[in-house]
Structure 1
């Protein structure tokens, strides 16, 4: 009896191979060295297969990044809202400080400046969810009187902005100590008011 190939399994295998190839190539050659042709060759698929699912290499790399970090971003809920925010920021800094991931996400952010579709995708899939989580946690801490009486959006910028600045502008990988210092500076303002 001859078996018929299951197209959904084949396409899932191809999708996984494409995402794995994109990550491997980024690690080996840097974001700028990756092309759709190289991804297709590494994954063992044709370029039309990639373009069926993604409009550009940037979109492939963003998906590869999102799948890679999904398990690494943690959303602690311990009841201590300040420590929960600290844990959340540590997980963000940990992902960005990973030498295999930080340069990749920096490349995606850079490419998004010139690719409106990628910018929209990054905004919806990365920025909005992380922003909403951070703002919600800041509000809880403010309700406890442990953060200054400023706009929660401003406070979210104050606690996350330096982490992104370190990665994108300074080229430095933010660590846990840096996150703790930033958070201490912001929360100390609540004690002084």
Structure 2
């Protein structure tokens, strides 16, 4: 007598969750955040909209989790290709300028990647209108990334490469702020050369040396 195993509800839920993530990312790129709806996400994912509302209160919350998952999957894929565990720190080669330029260039490449551009813009815009989404956006997505810079700058301080009185959390805004502004408002080309200039101006200032 053969016995049938019970359906794995946890696995089924995970499949549904990832189908919803994929649908949200695809649709926001296709139709924009303004026209994105829970109903459209549910239809694309092949789930009932009540399933989505059971897990998330709004389309913004869905998109935020989908974007976080997208970043996690990209990190895992890159790690698998390199044959090592995921890295969540800025490189420390001993050359602060080179390390910062490396990461800023990587950020520029991500900003310009069509896969990330639309959902990232949607979340940034929604975060300014929706306090709850804005707080989650900062807590789960923005601040963890900025803390990587904080830790790298503190290492540089210990090595005597940065003044001890400098607040790393404020200092990093000298390049991350203009970078985000140019990307969001499209005030100029977003290039590696521009990123390099931001790092150089932040580290050495604009007065004659």
TM-score range, shorter chain: 0.7 to 0.9
1:94 aligned to which of 109, 115, 120: 109
Summarize deviations over 1:110-169 as a string: whole Å, max 9, x none: 111221221121111012211211122223334445456643222111011111101222
SS of 2:204's equivalent? helix
SS of 1:100's equivalent? helix
Q: Who is 1:178 aligned against?
A: 194
| 1:192 positional shift | 6.2
| 1:171 positional shift | 6.0
Summarize deviations over 1:33-62 as a string: whole Å, max 9, x none: 211100000000011111121111111111
Task: State how many pairs are aligned.
Answer: 193
For residues 188 and 60 of structure 2, what CA distance do their matches in structure 1 show? 23
Considering only CA atoms, is the larger Rg found in Structure 1 or Structure 2?
2
1:135 aligned to which of 129, 143, 150: 150
SS of 1:102's equivalent? helix
Q: Who is 2:172 aligned against?
A: 156
1:75 aligns with 2:75: no
- CA RMSD, Structure 1 to Structure 2 (Å): 2.5
Q: Which runs of 5+ in 1 are unaligned?
A: none
Matches within 5 A, 1:1-193: 1-70=3-72, 71-72=74-75, 75-82=89-96, 83-147=98-162, 150-170=166-186, 174-189=190-205
| 1:29 positional shift | 1.3
For residues 159 and 145 of structure 1, what CA distance do their matches in structure 2 show? 21
Q: Which runs of 5+ in 2 are unaligned?
A: 76-86
TM-score under structure 1 length normalisation: 0.87
TM-score under structure 2 length normalisation: 0.81
For residues 47 and 94 of structure 2, what CA distance do their matches in structure 1 show? 48
| 1:74 positional shift | 5.8
For residues 63 and 188 of structure 2, what CA distance do their matches in structure 1 show? 22
Preserved contact between residue 81 and residue 137 of structure 1 (Cα < 8 Å): no
SS of 1:123's equivalent? helix
SS of 1:2's equivalent? coil
